Amino acid sequence: MTGVRLGRRANARQFGLLVGITLLVGATAGLERSVLPLVGEEEFGLVSRTAILAFVATFGAAKGAANLFSGSLAERSGRKHVLVLGWLLVLPVGPIVALAPSWATIVAANVFLGAGQGVAWSMTIVMNIDLVGPLRARAQSSRGCSSKL
The number of folded domains in the chain is: 1
Most confident stretch, 4-8, 26-30, 135-139: 26-30
Q: What is the pTM of this model?
A: 0.72
In a domain, 146, yes or no: no
Task: Check residue 64 and give its pLDDT.
Answer: 92
Task: Check residue 3 and give its pLDDT.
Answer: 65
In a domain, 148, yes or no: no
In a domain, 87, yes or no: yes
Domain that holds residue 98: 12-132
The mean pLDDT of 28-40, rounded to a whole number, is 78
What is the DSSP track for 7-76? STTTTHHHHHHHHHHHHHHHHHHHHHHHHHHHHHHHTT----HHHHTHHHHHHHHHHHHHHHHHHHHHHH
